[in-house]
Amino acid sequence: MAVTETVTVLRRPLRDNFGNRPAGSTPQWDVPGCQFAPGPSQEMGAGGGQVDSDGTIYGPPVTDINAIVPDGIKATDEIRVRGVDYQVVGEVRDWGASGSVIVLKRVVG
């Protein structure tokens, strides 16, 4: 039996023309029944000043996610997994009753 965990979807306000997020609350929703597969990381730039990390979430069916997250998970959302925030990459892959696949990326530095 596979072990699952709960991830948190964060819908942060969009950034303004200066790259700042407006003040205010960030809506968030907990989505249970997920599995997280950490992906590769790579150092970018001279001296490894930036690190890109990937990951994949194997989640419940999209219909179940949409019952929790209004309008479903969007490419502008972030997902917190094990205390780390990742950006959603592209659209959620819908595998019907088999579940969903969500590709993630995190850039630090």
Q: What is the CA radius of gyration of the chain?
A: 15
pLDDT for the residue numbered 85: 95
Q: Which two tokens stand for residue 2?
A: 């596979």
> What's the pLDDT tens digit per position in 45-75?
666 678 889 999 999 999 999 999 999 999 9
pTM of structure: 0.83
The segments of the chain whose pLDDT lies below 70 read 1, 19, 21, 45-48
